[in-house]
Amino acid sequence: MELQPLLFLVFALGAVISAVSTVTRKNPVSSAMSLVAHFFMLAGLYLTLEAQFVAAVQVLVYAGAIMVLVVFVIMLLNLGNEQALTENRGLRSTLATLIGAVFAVQIILVTVAEPTGANALPSRAVEIGTTESIGQSLFTQYLFPFEAISLLLLAALIGSVVLAKRHMK
Amino acid sequence: MNLTQFLIITAQAGMLVNMMLIAAAYMVLAERKVSAWIQNRLGPNRVGWWGMLQSFADVFKLYLKEDIVPAAADYKFHALAPVISIAVAITVYAVIPWSGPLIEIDGVQYGLAMAPDMNVALLTILAMTSVGVYGVALAGWSSNSKYSLMGGLRSAAQMISYELSMGLSIIGVVLICGSLNLVEIIQYQTANGWNVFYQPLAFVIFFVTALAETNRAPFDLPEAEPELVGGYHTEYSGMKFGLLYLAEYGNMLASSAIMATLFLGGWDPVPFIDEAALLGLDPYSLPMVLIQHGVFVGKAATLVFVFIWIRWSLPRFRYDQLMNLGWKILLPLSLANITITGIVLLLLN
CA distance B69 to chain A (A): 19
Minimum Cα–Cα distance from A129: chain B residue: B119
pLDDT at position B235, please?
Answer: 78
CA distance A84 to chain B (A): 19
Length reported for chain A: 169
pLDDT at position A101, please?
Answer: 92
pLDDT < 70 regions, chain B: 1, 116, 222, 224-225
Give residue B226's identity as a one-letter amino acid code: P
Whether B253 and B17 have beta carbons less than 8 Å apart is answered as no
Selecting from 1.10.3720.10, 2.60.40.10, 1.20.120.1200, 3.40.309.10, what CATH number does the domain A1-81 have?
Answer: 1.20.120.1200
Whether B161 and B213 have beta carbons less than 8 Å apart is answered as no
H/E element holding A73?
A: helix A67-77
Whether B236 and B71 have beta carbons less than 8 Å apart is answered as no
CA distance B163 to chain A (A): 10
Q: Kindly state whether residue B120 falls inside one of the protein's structural domains.
A: yes
Give the side-chain half-sphere CA count within 13 A for A34. Answer: 18
User: Which residues in A have their CB inside 8 Å of a CB on B?
Assistant: 1-4, 27, 29-30, 33, 36, 52-53, 55-57, 59-60, 63-65, 68-69, 71-72, 75-76, 129-131
Instruction: Please name the residues between 66 and 85 in chain B that touch chain A, using a CB distance below 8 Å.
Output: 74, 76-77, 80
Contact call for B120 and A72, based on CB within 8 A: no
Q: Kindly state whether residue B133 falls inside one of the protein's structural domains.
A: yes
* Among B135, B108, B148, residue whose Cα is nearest residue B9: B108
What DSSP letter does each residue of B222-269 carry, written as one string?
GG-HHHHTTGGGTT--HHHHHHHHHHHHHHHHHHHHHHHHHTS-TT-S
pLDDT at position A169, please?
Answer: 58
Domain enclosing residue B203, as ranges: 70-234+252-348
The set of residues, in sequence order, having a beta carbon less than 8 Å from that of B196 and lying 6+ positions away, is: B203, B263, B264
* Among B337, B339, B304, residue whose Cα is nearest residue B23: B304
Q: Kindly state whether residue B244 falls inside one of the protein's structural domains.
A: no
Contact call for B137 and A72, based on CB within 8 A: yes
Whether B125 and B290 have beta carbons less than 8 Å apart is answered as no
CA B348/CA A162 separation, integer angstroms: 40
Average pLDDT, chain B: 84
pLDDT at position B111, please?
Answer: 74
pLDDT < 70 regions, chain A: 1, 78-89, 115-123, 125-126, 168-169
Whether B271 and B265 have beta carbons less than 8 Å apart is answered as yes
The set of residues, in sequence order, having a beta carbon less than 8 Å from that of B274 and lying 6+ positions away, is: none
A contacts of B129 (beta carbons < 8 Å):
64
pLDDT at position A89, please?
Answer: 66
CA B225/CA B221 separation, integer angstroms: 9
CA A44/CA A59 separation, integer angstroms: 10
pLDDT at position A49, please?
Answer: 82
pLDDT at position B77, please?
Answer: 83
pLDDT at position A99, please?
Answer: 93
Query: Greatest CA span in chain A, whole angstroms?
Result: 67
CA distance B37 to chain A (A): 39
Whether A41 and A18 have beta carbons less than 8 Å apart is answered as yes
Give residue A71's identity as a one-letter amino acid code: V
A contacts of B118 (beta carbons < 8 Å):
52
Q: Is B138 on the interface with A (CB under 8 A)?
A: yes
CA B115/CA B128 separation, integer angstroms: 15
pLDDT at position B145, please?
Answer: 80
* Among B287, B302, B276, B113, residue whose Cα is nearest residue B196: B302
Contact call for B123 and A57, based on CB within 8 A: yes
